[in-house]
């Protein structure tokens, strides 16, 4: 799947480069990788700390023939691939916090930013941005309490190129399996790493917050949250705090 790698030492954001490549007709499976980003993008308009050669900063270009409503599933496919690859390599337990934060010992080790290019009726391309904190010893003050790296957790350095290969191998078979068999194969794998299921959570959405028990995800990858009246809400986009 991933035969075309576009490597840069320094970029603003691999997402920005990937969007440009899509506009120039890049094919499915093109990957953009950088050693450092000056303007790494996180979810919800946040920035992403992308220091020189410490982490994996990459964007995958996909062109799946799936419906709009299934787009959140792709993020979960990526989360499963990353959780499996990072756990196998490091021996650390990797937890997924819905929808797409990967944590070790409660601290964030990896984030995923999925951006769509779409017509009203179909997805033209999906750009999955992946940031993995690999060999960081220090983080900026603001995130030092909430972020971690494979190095900080295990005391070891990891070869970034090897890790990229592992991540892409996991992603390739999971993505093929997802396209052939649908989300049903991915869902139990996602649940096996999930930190949120069965827990009381606060879901902070753009306009409101909901408190309830996270029951799990449905077939579209949407989070199901049961409030105290028993009503089950479908959460499409939110920040989740486990309480």
Residues belonging to the binding site for biotin are: 37, 108
43 binds ligand BTN, rule: CB under 6 A: yes
111 binds ligand BTN, rule: CB under 6 A: yes
Residue 42 or 182 having the CB closest to ligand BTN: 42
Q: Give the pair of three-digit tokens for residue 233.
A: 């809400």
CA distance 98 to 231: 20
72 binds ligand BTN, rule: CB under 6 A: no
Residues 6+ away with beta carbon under 8 Å from 33: 5, 6, 7, 8, 14, 56, 57, 58, 164
What are the backbone angles phi and psi of residue 13, rounded to the nearest 5°?
A: -155, 135
Q: Omega of the bond prior to 99 within 30 degrees of 0, cis?
A: yes
Nearest-approach distance from CB 185 to ligand BTN, in angstroms: 25
CA angle 105, 236, 222 (to 5 degrees): 70
Task: Cite the DSSP H helix spans in the chain.
Answer: 14-23, 71-90, 150-154, 160-181, 186-193
DSSP at 47 = B
112 binds ligand BTN, rule: CB under 6 A: yes
Among 2, 13, 125, 158, indicate the residue that binds ligand BTN (CB under 6 A): 13
Nearest-approach distance from CB 102 to ligand BTN, in angstroms: 9
The residue nearest ligand BTN at its CB is 111
Among 113, 126, 203, 222, indicate the residue that binds ligand BTN (CB under 6 A): 113
97 binds ligand BTN, rule: CB under 6 A: no
139 binds ligand BTN, rule: CB under 6 A: no
For 3, counting Cβ atoms within 10 Å of its Cβ (0-12 exposed, 13-18 middle, 19+ buried), the class is: exposed
Nearest-approach distance from CB 231 to ligand BTN, in angstroms: 29
State the angle between helix axes of 186-193 and 71-90 in degrees (0 to 180), rounded to the nearest 10: 50
129 binds ligand BTN, rule: CB under 6 A: yes
Stretch that binds ligand BTN, among 12-20, 140-148, 151-159, 200-208 (CB under 6 A): 12-20
152 binds ligand BTN, rule: CB under 6 A: no
Binding site for ligand BTN (CB under 6 A): 13-15, 37, 40-43, 46, 48, 50, 57-59, 101, 111-113, 129-131
């Amino acid at each position: 799947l991933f035969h075309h790698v576009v490597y840069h030492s320094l970029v603003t954001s691999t997402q920005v480069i990937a969007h440009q490549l899509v506009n120039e007709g890049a094919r499915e499976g093109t990957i953009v990788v950088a050693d450092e980003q000056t303007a790494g993008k996180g979810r919800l308009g946040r920035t992403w700390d992308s220091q020189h050669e410490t982490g994996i900063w990459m964007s995958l270009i996909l062109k799946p023939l799936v419906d709009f409503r299934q787009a959140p599933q792709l993020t979960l496919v990526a989360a499963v691939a990353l959780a499996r690859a990072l756990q196998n390599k490091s021996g650390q337990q990797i937890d997924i916090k819905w929808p797409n934060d990967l944590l070790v010992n409660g601290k964030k080790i990896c984030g995923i930013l999925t951006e769509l290019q779409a017509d009203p009726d179909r997805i033209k391309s999906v750009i999955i941005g992946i940031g993995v904190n690999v060999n960081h010893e220090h983080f900026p003050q603001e995130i030092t309490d909430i972020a971690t790296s494979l190095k900080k957790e295990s005391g070891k350095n990891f070869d970034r190129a090897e890790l990229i290969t592992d991540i892409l191998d996991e992603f390739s078979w999971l993505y093929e399996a997802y396209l052939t068999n649908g989300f049903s194969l991915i869902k139990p794998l996602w649940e096996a790493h999930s930190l949120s299921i069965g827990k009381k959570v606060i879901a902070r959405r753009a306009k409101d917050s909901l408190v309830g028990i996270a029951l799990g995800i449905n077939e579209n990858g949407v989070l199901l949250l049961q409030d105290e009246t028993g009503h089950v809400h479908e959460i499409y986009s939110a920040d989740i705090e486990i309480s």
